[in-house]
Every structure is written in C-alpha cells, then in structure tokens.
Amino acid sequence: MSKRFLPYVINLGLLVAAVILSLAIGSVFIAPADLWEILRNWLTHRPLPAGLETYSFIISDIRLPRTVLVLLTGAALGGSGTAYQGLFRNPLADPYLIGVASGAGLGAVLAMSIRWPYSFWGLLAVPMSAFAAAMLTVLLVYIMARVGQTVPTTNLILSGVAFSAFATALTSYLIISSQGEVRRALGWLMGGASQSSWQTVLAILPYLVIGLGVLLMNGHALNLLQFGDDQAQQLGLPVMRTKTVLLLAASLATAAAVSFSGIIGFIGLIVPHVMRLWWGADYRRLLPLSIMAGGGFLILADILARSVMRPQELPVGIVTALAGAPFFLWVLRKSKNQGYW
Amino acid sequence: MFRKAIITLASLTLILAACAPKLPAATEITSGTETPATPVTYTDGLGRSIEMTGSAQRVVSLTPATTEILFAIGAGSQVVGRDTFSDYPAEASTVTDIGGSMGKYNTEAIVNLKPDLVVAGGINPPELVASLETLGLKVFFLSNPTTMDELYARIRIMGNLTGADSGAEKVVTSMDAKAKEVDAKLSGITDKPVVYYELDATPFTAGPGTFVDQLISRAGGTNFGAKMDSAWAQISLEQLLVADPAFIVLGDSAYGETASTVSARPGWDVLTAVKEQKIFPFDDNLVSRPGPRLVDGLEALARLIHPEAYK
C-alpha cells in the first residue's frame, strides 16, 4: 500500500467501525447475531425471519438515520473547522468563530418562544429560523468587517466576537423571560440529534454537499493562503474572492448542520488539529481527512451520549468536550511534531 | 450587496424547508389482540384527530402528570412505559423508564415497548409528537389544563382512551368533593394573607396563570406572584420586602431549602414570615403537576394558611 493512501484507509476504517458500533449499540439490546441477520437480509432483499421486525425497524428508522445525521453534522463541523483555521491562519479558529453558533442559537430560541401551529411550517420553524439567523449573522459580520475592497482577518474576528456577544445576550434574555421553554432551549444549545429522521437527513444534505464540495475544491488555495494574503495574491490567487467563497461555503455547511442538531462544540476545533498532528498540514489532504474524522468522532461521542446514563440521553455537546479534550491533550503530548502549526 | 445577500438567504432558507420533513402519516405497526370495535375519533391538544379502535392496552406516558392520572383512574396496569420523572404512585417506578431528561426521550425503548398509545403532555414540543408519529406510533397530546374543570375534562379523556371511564369519573367526583370540602372549611374566612411560593432560591415564584396561583387563592391566601407579568417570574428582594408576605412556602424544599437557609439569607430577616418563622417546606409535585393530586395540594395549602379552620 502506498503511503499516500494510508491516511485515507485508516480514517475510512475508523469511520466504518464507528458506524457499525452506532448501529449495534442502543438502549434496546440487539444481539450481534440478530444485527448481522438483519443487515444480511437487507442486502439480499429477503424477508425477515419472524420476531426481528421491531429490531429491524429500530435499526432502519431510528439508529440509521440518527447515525447518518450525526455523521453529516460531524463532517460539516470537521471540514468547516479546517477551512476556518486555514482561512484565519489561527489555531484557535473553529466553525463558530464569526457567529454561526450564536446566530443559530438566537434564531432557534426566538422560534421556540412562539407557539407555532401543528403544521408543516410550524414544525420547521425552529430549524429554519436557526439556519436563517446563522447565515444572516455571518453576512452582517462580513459586511461590518469590510474595509473598502478588503476584509481584514482581524476585523472579521472582532466583528464576529461582538456580534456573538450581542446574539448570546439576546438569547439568554429570551430564555430567562420565556414561559417554561428553558429545558428545550438548553437542550438545543448543548446539541443533540434527537430529532433525527430520514427527512432531516435529506433536508441538510444539499447544503453539506455544496458547502463541503466547495471547500474540497479549494485545498490548494488554502495552502497558498498560509503564506499570507500578499504572497498568495502574487502567486496568482484571487485572495479576496477565494476568502469570501470559503467563508460562505464553510458557514453554509455549519449552519445547516446546527439547524437540526443544535450547537455541538469543540469538535470543529480539535478534529482539524488531530488530523494535522497525525497527517501533516497539506490542506488538500487535511480537508477530506478532517471531514471523515469529524463524522467518525461525532458518531463515537453520540454513542457515549446515549449510553452513559441509559435510559437517559446526554446532550452530545457535553460529551464532545468531556471526552474530546483529554483525547486531544493525549494526542498533543504523544506528537513528535511539537510546534507544528 | 446587502439586498442581494438577503434575497439569497431567503431563498436558501426556503430550499431548506422544501427538502425538509413532511408531516408524517400515522400508521400503526402493531396492535394487540383487540375485539373489533367501531373506531372513535378524539381531538387532542394540538388539534389533531386521533382515531382509536377499542381502548389502549399498552400506554407510554411521557410526563409525570399523565402517569399519575393513568394510575389514579385504574389504568396503571396498561402503562408499559413512563418518563424518568414519573415517581408517583410508587408502582410507577416498576414500569420501564423511557428517559425524558432535557426533553430527550429514548425513542428506541418506546418503539420496542410496542405501545398502542403514547400520551404526550404540555411540556413536550410538537416536534417530538411529529417525530414519534413518523415512527408509526399513535400519539395523543394532552395539553396542560389551566383550570380544575379543564383538568377534570383531561382525566375523563384519559378514561375514554384507556377504557377506564368509570375510574376516571370516580377520580373526578372525589377530587371535586375534596375541593368543595376545602371551600366549605374556608367559607367564613375573610383575611387573605400574602403567600410567597418559592420555586427556586434565585428566587423564582409562580405568577398568574399557574395552578400554584389558583390554589393559593382558593386556599384563602393572596399569591405574592399574582402581580408578576409572566407565569414563572424571577423576583427581587425589594419587591418581597414591600409585599412582606405572611407565609413563605418552599416549593424548592426538595433542593435543600429549609426555614433555616431562608432565615440565613442576607436581608431576609426583616420579613414578617421570617421573624415569625412561618416558613414551610412543601411538596412541589402536589401543585406543579396538573394531575389528581392538585386537590391534595389545595388542602395542604389551606391547612398551612388557615390552620384555625382545621381545628
């Protein structure tokens, strides 16, 4: 096996293992033999033996859509985190740096404070409002940070911080003054894919394909940006346009991911770093590897979230930081690649 | 630039909606061995029509209040799943726990119980109802009652759904009798002392539109929180000092608040209720769960506020 493909093989292997674990583990115990029987019958389109219908339904309609949704969310956060870190040339950057999370939080809580009718649109109010508010926040941050024809990175970060503080304060105010929607709002703000279904997966898929697709095509551009804006420009990169496109693509993927799954922290920050420590800083490889690793890592975190306190479920955002931070510190200590950034 | 951005944003949002969940069509996965009966259609708290053939034999309850109602009307043996917080009556604890903390329920466990009816309550968001229906479950949303009469109607509906009609009627009759007994005891009372009901030590109190508010006034008191502008209101010590309640009722006693912790709070020592030590721990579940025990809460409050009537 050539060394070029080794990282992809390892990441893909981890991802597939995570998916299988996620299908096998749940609050209802399904024996590995039964799981194998169900999967085999699906693949061969044979009718299921009697007694396995409920298990089959649990796997196909509860565990599988949830696993796919979590995979997509993690992939979006991993990919966007990598792009943000490259774009801002800052190791502290994560997908929420310029206000996607705080904007989405405000949108979601705003929608939760209204009693919507039980209808198609009423049920979509929260994710739609979260998505729209997230994208609106990013656009406002971007417009505010503009100086003439350029958008200086420092301005972007500062304007993002200011907008985030403003939106977070409004969110807190809405939660405090709400009539008992606090539990729901907190659950959403800490992240968790309890509203998962195949329709949810289909709803966010187009955004992730567009957002992550654009990022994947810009690996080389991100490499050039690491030399600094001026040098990248001299090397023939349309810096301003590239940065805008990357920013929008990463925000689009993140906003779609959080609109149904809530704010899941930390993953967009550490996954790119772990991948960089393991496989080096070439963005052409870093982007696809981070996308795969983000999906795999979030699936593992989600398994923990729903099994640690069975039958209760933890918000997955708690797990990503609680399990992710020690893991990241371990990788950092083990790495021979100190001062890699 | 800005206008273009807004238009793009709006259309993106619409696309998100277009690919998003369709309202699920309810289909049943399994139904037990029931005698064929004519289907009856009920309208639930979300305005949805629920068609029932025969009575529900395997019920999952998502809130403590519905669990209490189901057990009180004699349908307890039909309850196959209940949320984590359903701790009353004691028999409920032997029923399978299906989660519910932070609003997250264990859908897998619910499906695995093969219920023929899931009863959701006012604390559950409509999205939860929709996602359970997508899984082929029959969900009845029991919206929170705001008056005793509404609660009686809710209890009767639970009776209809589970075939415990006569049990439900008995519960309603005895609740009504108990409430009227309290009214009779307090009939001669003219003095209505101010009662501060504490939900949380931050401090939060129960405002208008809550059962706490209604029960305090029916128990011959004046709810300090009645003047607040929302149902659950955070208050300042200043307002409390001005109102100077004669009673402090600790709905948060389960979280470690006692007469001595309240007396030790800085500035609280000047309150009449603190000076006279009229501070009482209270079982908040008696007044916060819209179920059959509300009348017990009413009686307990009446005994606290007007002990002279119960001599």
**pLDDT reported for residue B244:** 93
CA distances to A4, A110, B84 from B99, in Å: 46, 26, 5
Q: In this structure, which amino acid lies at residue B175?
A: M
Contact B99 A195 (CB under 8 A): no
Which of A191-200, A263-272, B150-159 reaches the highest mean pLDDT?
A: B150-159
Neighbour count for residue B29 (Cβ, 10 Å) = 16
Nearest CB among A252, A256, A313 relative to B104 is that of A313
Q: Mutate which of B3, B4, B13 to test chain A, going by most A C-beta atoms within 10 A? A: B13
**Which has the closest alpha carbon to A316: A144, A180, A195?**
A195
Within 48-107 of A, beta carbons closer than 8 Å to B belong to: 53-54, 57-58, 61-63
DSSP string, A231-249: HHHHTT--HHHHHHHHHHH
Closest CA to B242 of B280, B276, B270, B217: B270
Torsion-angle region of A148 (φ positive above 0: left; ψ -120 to 50: alpha; else: beta): left
Residues contacting A183, CB < 8 A, separation 6+: B102, B103, B123
pLDDT at B7: 60
Gap between the Cα atoms of A305 and A25, Å rounded: 11
| Average pLDDT of every residue of chain A | 88
d(CA B304, CA A178): 31
User: Which CATH code for domain B177-310?
Assistant: 3.40.50.1980
Q: Is B105 on the interface with A (CB under 8 A)?
A: yes
Tell me if chain B has a CB within 8 Å of the CB of A121.
yes
Q: Does B123 touch chain A (CB under 8 A)?
A: yes
pLDDT tens, residue by residue, A123-154: 788 889 999 999 999 999 999 998 888 888 88
Type of residue at A235: L
Amino acid at A323: A
| pLDDT for B127 | 85
Per residue in B2-53, pLDDT tens? 566 556 656 656 555 555 544 444 444 444 444 557 899 999 999 999 999 9
Query: Which chain A residue has its CA at the smallest distance from B133's CA?
Result: A197
Whether residues B111 and A57 touch (CB distance < 8 A) is answered with yes
Domain boundaries, chain B: 21-166, 177-310
Which residues does residue B250 pair with via DSSP β-bridges, in sequence order?
A: B198, B281
Residue among A131, A187, A313 minimizing CB distance to B16: A131
d(CA B82, CA B110): 9
* Strand partners for B7: none
Q: Which two tokens stand for residue A16?
A: 């597939």
Candidate from B9, B10, B22 with C-beta closest to A199: B22
CATH T-level topology, domain B21-166: Rossmann fold (3.40.50)
Contact B295, B214 (CB under 8 A): no
The count of C-alpha atoms lying within 13 angstroms of the C-alpha of A224, restricted to the half-sphere facing its C-beta, is 18
Most distant CA atoms of chain A, gap in Å: 69
CA distances (Å), A290 to each of A82, A254, A287, in order?
A: 7, 14, 5
User: Percentage of residues in chain B with pLDDT exceeding 90?
Assistant: 68
- Please list every residue in chain A whose beta carbon sits closer than 8 Å to the beta carbon of residue B7: none
Partners of B83 on chain A (C-beta within 8 Å) are none
Give contacts of A 171-210 with B, CB under 8 A.
176-177, 179-180, 183-184, 186-187, 190, 192, 194-195, 197, 199-200, 202-207
The alpha carbon of residue A71 is apart from the nearest alpha carbon of chain B, in Å, by: 18
Whether A104 contacts A233, CB under 8 Å: no
pTM of the shown model = 0.81
Give pLDDT, residue A179: 64
Burial of B264 (0-12, 13-18, 19+ CB in 10 A): exposed
Report chain A residues whose CB lies below 8 A from the CB of B232. 179-180
- Confidence tier at A112 by pLDDT (50, 70, 90): confident
Q: List, for residues A14-66, the tens digit of each pLDDT value.
A: 999 999 999 998 878 888 888 888 888 888 888 877 778 888 888 988 899 99
Q: Taking the alpha carbons of A55, A58, A60, A64 in that order, is the dihedral positive or negative?
A: negative
Q: How far apart are CA B290 and CA B10, in angstroms?
A: 41
Does B134 contact A at CB distance below 8 Å? yes
For the stretch B183-238, pLDDT in tens is 999 998 999 999 999 998 888 899 898 999 999 999 999 999 998 887 888 888 88
pLDDT in tens, B181-192: 999 999 989 999
CA B14 vs CA A73, A195, A203, A258, B121: distances in Å: 20, 20, 11, 17, 31
* Model confidence pLDDT, tens digit, residues B120-176: 998 888 888 998 998 999 999 999 999 999 999 999 999 999 999 999 999 999 999
Note whether B21-166 and B177-310 share their fold.
Answer: yes
Domains of chain A: 1-64 (no CATH), 82-263 (1.10.3470.10), 266-283+299-341 (no CATH)
DSSP 8-state symbol, B99: B
Q: Which range scores top for mean pLDDT: A325-334, B6-15, B54-63, B259-268?
A: B54-63
In this complex, do A179 and B231 lie within 8 Å of one another by their Cβ atoms? yes
Å between A279 CA and nearest CA of chain B: 35
Question: How close A275 comes to chain B (CA, Å)?
Answer: 31
Asked if A311's CB is within 8 angstroms of B98's CB, the reply is yes
Residue B101 sits at the chain A interface (C-beta within 8 Å): yes
pLDDT for residue A193: 59
Give the pLDDT confidence of A205-258 residue by residue, as tens digits: 999 999 999 999 999 999 999 998 889 999 999 999 999 999 999 999 999 998
Q: Give the span between the Cα atoms of A24 and B218, in whole angstroms.
A: 54
Structure-block tokens of residue B152 = 């009686």
How many Å apart are CA B118 and CA B194, to the nearest integer? 41
User: What angle is formed at CA B210 by the lines to CA B206 and CA B214, rounded to 5 degrees?
Assistant: 100
